[in-house]
A = this chain, B = another copy of it.
Amino acid sequence: MGTVVVLAAQVGGAKLADGLYRLRGMDLAVVVNTGDDYRHLGLAFSPDLDTTLFTLAGIASATAGWEPEGETRALQGMLKRLGGPDRPLLGDKSLAAPLLRAEGLANERRLTEITLDFCRRLGIEALVLPMSDDPVRTNVLTDDGAMTFQQYYNELGCDPAVRGLQYAGAAEARISDEVLDALHAEDLEAVVIGPANPYHGIRPILELNGMRELLRKRGAPVVAVTPVVGGKALQGSAGKMMRELGREPTALGAATEYRSLADGFVIDREDLAFAEGVRSLGMRVLAVQTVMRTIDDRVALARSVLEFARSIREARALEVE
């Protein structure tokens, strides 16, 4: 068994990362999207990092995976009373990380150091790594104009039709040393792309200067998991965004986003009809249950993904012979 790297965003990505963590412990590095990070009231919000941390620490809410279990909104009530903004809705517990993160950044600490410190405090043995210490901001180009993903999501409730996305800063952002180390691990076994919105969840990571080239060059199997099942995005806004961008809102549409990058694509059993289409994109296909309702579901999917990656390695070895 070697090192596994998973690219993660949103609740789906965090859940699969958790499944992998339960199988591999410290031999896992989770590279997390920071393109949706934003500043609000001076605090430094990193939604995907916090979702991942809460999930791997086992303290995420079962029903609202992006916040801790038993979240309360006492601060939000007083904030409103004092004339503060209604949105984004702030949770009391959820505010701790953005508060400490802003303080750390103000003291010239790197986002990676701050995040690894949170990992240690939460008892997480895997490495949870921001994709970069440099700022990347995903901008959504809509019929109402260009805006940050945060504005699109929190202020406008994903309402305006999306015409494109832009990853400001990605071309200049440096992949952090910690992410480079993980991807250069001699025993790198697989790179997994978690089930998350391809446009604002995973793409910002892939747009980092040199990331696609590095993944191709390393040669470990790259396996992506569909964020769409039966024509529905499992979490959030992927389906709507795909339609508006002129893509088919299906597992096949999602697979298209990883063409020429992923060696294998995992679709749901329900979507067997798309298997042939995905194969025609040049990817191997695995069909399993991808919906993760329980912890066991996470572990089962993680195990399937790793076995799929191994089968791809073995098939390649045969081809070479």
A320 within 8 A of B: no
Name 30 A/B residue pairs within 8 A (Cβ), A-sorted. Answer: A41-B102, A41-B103, A42-B43, A42-B106, A43-B99, A68-B78, A71-B74, A72-B74, A72-B92, A74-B74, A74-B93, A75-B75, A75-B93, A75-B96, A78-B93, A78-B95, A78-B97, A81-B96, A82-B97, A82-B100, A82-B118, A82-B122, A83-B100, A83-B118, A83-B120, A84-B96, A84-B99, A84-B100, A92-B92, A95-B95
A79 and B92 contact, CB distance less than 8 A: no
With a cutoff of 8 Å between Cβ atoms, the chain B residues found around residue A122 in the complex are: 81-82
A121 within 8 A of B: yes
Whole-angstrom CA separation of A95 from B73 in the bound complex? 12
A117 and B72 contact, CB distance less than 8 A: no
A77 within 8 A of B: yes
- The residue in A72, A81, A96, A97 that gathers the most chain B C-beta atoms within 10 A of its C-beta is A96
Q: Which residue of B lies closest to A84 (CB)?
A: B100
Chain A's interface: helix, strand, loop or mixed, by majority?
A: helix
B75 and A92 contact, CB distance less than 8 A: yes
14 additional A-B pairs beyond A41-B102, A72-B74, beta carbons within 8 Å, are A68-B78, A71-B74, A74-B74, A75-B75, A75-B92, A77-B93, A78-B92, A78-B96, A81-B96, A82-B97, A82-B118, A82-B122, A83-B117, A83-B120
With a cutoff of 8 Å between Cβ atoms, the chain B residues found around residue A78 in the complex are: 68, 92-97
List CB contacts (< 8 Å) of A97-143 with chain B.
Answer: 97, 99-100, 102-103, 106, 117-118, 120-122
